[in-house]
Amino acid sequence: MTLYEKILALYPELIEYNFVDGNIILQNDSDGKGDYIAKWEHPTLARPTQEQLDGVSE
Amino acid sequence: MAYFGLQPLQSTYLTDYFSGNGSTVAFTLSRAPIAAESVLVHISGVKQHASTYGVAGTTLTFSAAPPTGTNNIEVLHLGIAPETVTLPSYRTVTEFTATAGQTTFSPASYTAGYIDVYRNGVKLGADDFTATNGTTVVLDNACTGGDLVRFESFLITSFNNAIPNTAGAVGSSLLASGSALANIGAGGVTQSYIGNNVAGTGPAFSAYPNSDTAINNAWTKINYALELFDTNSLFSSSRFTPNIAGYYQINAVTLMNAVVNQATAIYVNGNQYKRGTYDSGNSSGVSGLVYLNGTTDYAEIYVYVPGSASVAGDNRTWFDGFLVRAA
């Protein structure tokens, strides 16, 4: 399950636009460390904690 | 034919005309003669003897005021002193009256090998004295009290401030401080002395990948393993880290292996800086100006796809940039 899918599971109201217009940036530096949240500036939804992300079931 | 200083030009003799009024004795010449004998002076057509006037700089002064007349004073310059060339004195004479037993003298500073020594009017041979340090001269034989010892030292250069008209190096001492020429060094002309319409030799690079890059709902850095060119070897590990602070034009085009929504963005120091259009298609691009500090700042390219896709790993995907203007 990708980071993007986990976030969508937590916040189903998010749409594609949120990840493109810049207030949420998921990033992968192609260094083998995988995806991470580089920026979270959503006006209403809080940045998910690692605990929340880890709790999302496959 | 080579010349020192200004190349001589053929022309008519320079002539100044003045109108006498019976009282004025001083007139200002257009050029400063070297001496009174360097000009021919006529008053009302009669040549004047050089003893009847004098020159000091550009001022011509008569011992008696010329009579009234329109342009009745004619001054013909027989030569014009070269401009922009400093004419140094060639010989420096220093005289001493020796004390009894004196052997060491301190004449004006000299260049070893370019000094003559006279004792009571008789020139000494090179073996009769030692003059090597530029400041003192030691006679082999002690003087008798009252001996007149004379030193004549000679300048070994003929012109100062003249650029040699032959191939070779021009020393910085011949160039005015702060001039553009003075700023040409081993490293080339500094950026501040390049004309506004002249491109410099700032960094430029172009690179492309050699393998596909998988994208899956995250801005993903593209690895550009191959270089088309990299003028200053500043592109490494898929990032451009220039060593000159300034404004850089950064361009990138990404070709996807499928038709998908996508965007390509310029990243600076790991953060998204400028994003290209977000649209559906098989390619996207970005182009923009970026300031990089010339030390730690670096630029990279990231691509976003809202789903799963891959970037073509060949020269249809590329990343290039160059210095537009130094800071």
Question: What's the first-to-final CA gap in chain A, in angstroms?
Answer: 6
Residues sharing a CB contact under 8 Å with residue B207, sequence separation 6 or more, in sequence order: B224, B225, B226, B227, B228, B230, B235, B238, B318, B319, B320
DSSP string spanning B291-315? EE-SSS--EEEEEE-SSEEEE--ST
Query: Per the CB < 8 Å rule, is A26 touching B217?
Result: yes
**Would you state the pLDDT for residue B38?**
83
- CA-nearest residue to B214 within chain A is A30
B205 to chain A, minimum CA–CA distance in Å?
Answer: 21
Q: How confident is the model at residue B225 (pLDDT cuts 50, 70, 90)?
A: very high
- Alpha carbons within 13 angstroms on the beta-carbon side of residue B180 total 5
Interface test with A, best of B213, B217, B239 (most A CBs within 10 A): B217
What number is the ipTM of this complex?
0.90
Q: Cβ distance B140 to B151 under 8 Å?
A: no
Are A20 and B213 a contacting pair at CB < 8 A?
no
Please check whether residue B94 is in contact with residue B108, taking contact to mean a CB–CB distance below 8 angstroms: yes
Nearest CA in chain B to A33: B220
Q: Output DSSP code: residue B37.
A: G
Give the 3-state secondary structure of residue B81.
coil
pLDDT tens-digit series, residues B174-218:
666 666 566 665 566 666 666 666 677 889 999 999 999 999 999
B248 closest CA partner among B188, B301, B205: B205
Distance set, CA B326 to CA B193, B242, B283 (Å): 12, 11, 32
Q: How far is CA B63 from the centre of its chain?
A: 48
Please give the average per-residue pLDDT across B25-39, as a whole number: 86
CB contact under 8 A, B218 and A28: yes
Q: Which segment of A10-19, B9-18, B149-158 scores lowest on mean pLDDT?
A: B9-18
Cβ distance of B304 and A35 shorter than 8 Å: no
| B238 neighbourhood in chain A, CB within 8 Å | 30
Minimal Cα distance from A1: which residue of B?
B216
pTM over 0.90: no
Long-range contacts of B34-41 (CB under 8 A, 24+ apart): B34/B79, B34/B81, B38/B77, B38/B78, B38/B79, B39/B75, B39/B76, B39/B77, B39/B78, B40/B75, B40/B76, B40/B78, B41/B73, B41/B74, B41/B75, B41/B76
Q: Of A16-20, B5-9, B255-259, where does mean pLDDT reach its minimum?
A: B5-9
β-pair partners for B15: B76
Q: Quote the percentage of chain B above a pLDDT of 70.
A: 80
Q: Per-residue pLDDT tens for B251-290?
A: 999 999 999 999 999 999 999 999 999 989 999 999 999 9
- Local confidence band at B135 (pLDDT 50, 70, 90 cut-offs): very high
- Phi, psi (rounded to 5 degrees) for B215: -120, 135
The one-character DSSP state at B30 is: S
Which residues of chain B lie closer than 8 angstroms to A38, CB-CB? 219, 270-272
Query: Would you call A22 an interface residue with chain B, using a CB distance cutoff of 8 Å?
Result: yes
User: Measured between CB atoms, does A26 come within 8 Å of chain B?
Assistant: yes
**DSSP states of B147-213:** -EEEEEEE-S-S-BS---SSSS---GGGS-TTSTGGGEETTEE-GGGS-TT------EEEEE-SS-E
A19 near B CB under 8 A: yes
Confirm or reject contact between A11 and chain B (CB < 8 A): no
* Each residue's pLDDT tens digit, B97-121: 999 999 999 998 898 888 999 999 9
